[in-house]
Protein backbone atom coordinates (compact mmCIF):
# COMPACT_ATOMS: atom_id res chain seq x y z
CA UNK A 1 0.00 0.00 0.00
CA UNK A 2 1.08 3.56 -0.61
CA UNK A 3 0.96 6.45 1.80
CA UNK A 4 1.26 8.96 -1.04
CA UNK A 5 -1.18 11.85 -0.89
CA UNK A 6 -3.85 10.90 -3.44
CA UNK A 7 -4.04 14.54 -4.61
CA UNK A 8 -0.40 14.35 -5.67
CA UNK A 9 -0.99 11.08 -7.54
CA UNK A 10 -4.15 12.44 -9.20
CA UNK A 11 -2.41 15.66 -10.23
CA UNK A 12 0.41 13.62 -11.80
CA UNK A 13 -2.18 11.44 -13.58
CA UNK A 14 -3.83 14.62 -14.91
CA UNK A 15 -0.57 15.80 -16.50
CA UNK A 16 0.31 12.28 -17.68
CA UNK A 17 -3.04 11.80 -19.44
CA UNK A 18 -2.72 15.15 -21.21
CA UNK A 19 0.76 14.21 -22.40
CA UNK A 20 -0.50 10.78 -23.47
CA UNK A 21 -3.51 12.35 -25.25
CA UNK A 22 -1.28 14.53 -27.42
CA UNK A 23 1.26 11.75 -28.02
CA UNK A 24 -1.54 9.38 -29.08
CA UNK A 25 -3.03 11.89 -31.55
CA UNK A 26 0.40 12.75 -32.98
CA UNK A 27 0.46 9.19 -34.32
CA UNK A 28 -3.14 7.93 -34.12
CA UNK A 29 -3.32 4.19 -33.43
CA UNK A 30 -6.18 2.51 -31.55
CA UNK A 31 -3.71 -0.12 -30.28
CA UNK A 32 -1.42 2.44 -28.58
CA UNK A 33 -0.76 1.09 -25.04
CA UNK A 34 -1.01 4.63 -23.62
CA UNK A 35 -4.78 4.44 -24.15
CA UNK A 36 -5.24 1.59 -21.67
CA UNK A 37 -2.69 3.09 -19.28
CA UNK A 38 -4.34 6.52 -18.95
CA UNK A 39 -7.98 6.29 -20.07
CA UNK A 40 -11.08 4.32 -19.09
CA UNK A 41 -14.85 4.44 -19.56
CA UNK A 42 -16.37 7.31 -21.56
CA UNK A 43 -13.03 9.12 -21.82
CA UNK A 44 -11.46 6.05 -23.43
CA UNK A 45 -14.37 5.74 -25.87
CA UNK A 46 -14.17 9.44 -26.79
CA UNK A 47 -10.43 9.13 -27.42
CA UNK A 48 -10.94 6.04 -29.62
CA UNK A 49 -13.57 8.04 -31.56
CA UNK A 50 -11.05 10.87 -32.06
CA UNK A 51 -8.40 8.38 -33.23
CA UNK A 52 -10.87 6.87 -35.69
CA UNK A 53 -11.78 10.32 -37.03
CA UNK A 54 -8.13 11.35 -37.36
CA UNK A 55 -7.28 8.14 -39.24
CA UNK A 56 -10.30 8.44 -41.53
CA UNK A 57 -9.61 12.10 -42.31
CA UNK A 58 -5.80 11.80 -42.53
CA UNK A 59 -5.09 14.14 -39.62
CA UNK A 60 -2.54 14.20 -36.81
CA UNK A 61 -2.00 16.45 -33.81
CA UNK A 62 1.12 18.54 -33.33
CA UNK A 63 2.30 20.33 -30.24
CA UNK A 64 2.41 24.11 -30.72
CA UNK A 65 5.76 25.70 -31.58
CA UNK A 66 5.24 28.11 -28.68
CA UNK A 67 5.15 25.90 -25.55
CA UNK A 68 3.09 28.53 -23.69
CA UNK A 69 0.23 27.75 -26.10
CA UNK A 70 -0.28 24.38 -24.44
CA UNK A 71 -0.73 24.64 -20.70
CA UNK A 72 -3.04 22.27 -18.81
CA UNK A 73 -3.66 23.78 -15.37
CA UNK A 74 -5.46 21.96 -12.55
CA UNK A 75 -7.55 24.58 -10.72
CA UNK A 76 -8.86 22.25 -8.02
CA UNK A 77 -8.56 18.58 -7.12
CA UNK A 78 -11.33 16.97 -5.08
CA UNK A 79 -10.60 13.43 -3.90
CA UNK A 80 -14.07 11.90 -3.50
CA UNK A 81 -13.02 8.45 -2.30
CA UNK A 82 -10.09 6.04 -2.37
CA UNK A 83 -10.91 5.31 -6.03
CA UNK A 84 -12.45 8.51 -7.45
CA UNK A 85 -11.26 12.09 -7.78
CA UNK A 86 -12.39 15.17 -9.68
CA UNK A 87 -9.87 17.47 -11.36
CA UNK A 88 -11.15 20.87 -12.44
CA UNK A 89 -8.89 22.39 -15.06
CA UNK A 90 -8.41 25.61 -16.97
CA UNK A 91 -6.30 24.73 -19.98
CA UNK A 92 -4.69 26.71 -22.75
CA UNK A 93 -4.96 24.41 -25.76
CA UNK A 94 -3.06 25.35 -28.89
CA UNK A 95 -2.52 21.83 -30.18
CA UNK A 96 -2.44 22.03 -33.96
CA UNK A 97 -4.28 19.64 -36.27
CA UNK A 98 -2.33 18.87 -39.44
CA UNK A 99 -3.16 17.12 -42.72
CA UNK A 100 -0.81 14.12 -42.95
CA UNK A 101 -0.45 14.19 -46.76
CA UNK A 102 0.02 17.90 -47.37
CA UNK A 103 1.36 19.07 -44.01
CA UNK A 104 -1.25 21.84 -44.12
CA UNK A 105 -2.24 23.12 -40.69
CA UNK A 106 -6.01 22.65 -40.46
CA UNK A 107 -6.48 24.15 -36.99
CA UNK A 108 -4.03 26.00 -34.80
CA UNK A 109 -6.44 28.06 -32.75
CA UNK A 110 -5.35 28.68 -29.19
CA UNK A 111 -8.31 28.35 -26.85
CA UNK A 112 -8.67 28.49 -23.09
CA UNK A 113 -11.40 26.38 -21.57
CA UNK A 114 -12.52 24.81 -18.33
CA UNK A 115 -13.19 21.09 -17.87
CA UNK A 116 -14.35 18.84 -15.03
CA UNK A 117 -12.54 15.49 -15.20
CA UNK A 118 -13.36 12.32 -13.30
CA UNK A 119 -10.35 10.14 -12.51
CA UNK A 120 -10.81 6.58 -11.28
CA UNK A 121 -8.24 4.33 -9.65
CA UNK A 122 -7.81 1.05 -11.57
CA UNK A 123 -5.16 -1.48 -10.50
CA UNK A 124 -3.16 1.22 -8.74
CA UNK A 125 -3.29 3.68 -11.66
CA UNK A 126 -5.40 6.84 -11.80
CA UNK A 127 -7.12 7.01 -15.20
CA UNK A 128 -9.29 9.65 -16.84
CA UNK A 129 -12.84 8.26 -16.93
CA UNK A 130 -15.06 11.17 -17.93
CA UNK A 131 -14.86 14.83 -18.94
CA UNK A 132 -17.47 17.57 -19.15
CA UNK A 133 -17.73 21.33 -18.81
CA UNK A 134 -18.11 22.56 -15.23
CA UNK A 135 -21.53 23.78 -14.10
CA UNK A 136 -22.27 26.90 -12.06
CA UNK A 137 -20.68 26.74 -8.66
CA UNK A 138 -17.89 24.38 -9.73
CA UNK A 139 -14.28 25.58 -10.11
CA UNK A 140 -13.47 26.93 -13.58
CA UNK A 141 -11.15 29.37 -15.29
CA UNK A 142 -12.55 32.20 -13.18
CA UNK A 143 -11.19 30.31 -10.16
CA UNK A 144 -7.67 30.15 -11.55
pLDDT at 3: 57
pLDDT for 6-59, tens place per residue?
A: 999 999 999 999 999 999 999 999 999 999 999 999 999 999 999 999 999 999
Decide: 91 and 73 in contact? Cβ < 8 Å: yes
3-state DSSP assignment of residue 137: coil
pLDDT for 68-114, tens place per residue?
A: 999 999 999 999 999 999 999 999 999 999 999 999 999 999 999 99
pTM reported for the whole predicted model: 0.93
CA nearest neighbour of 119 among 25, 34, 41: 41
Distance of CA 144 to the CA centre of its chain: 18
3-state DSSP assignment of residue 2: coil
DSSP state of 141: G
pLDDT for 109-129, tens place per residue?
A: 999 999 999 999 999 999 999
How many residues comprise the chain?
A: 144
Amino acid sequence: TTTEDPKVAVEQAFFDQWDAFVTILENPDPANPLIEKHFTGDAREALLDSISEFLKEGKVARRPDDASNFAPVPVAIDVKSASEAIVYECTVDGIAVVDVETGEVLDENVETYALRNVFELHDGEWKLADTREPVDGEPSCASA
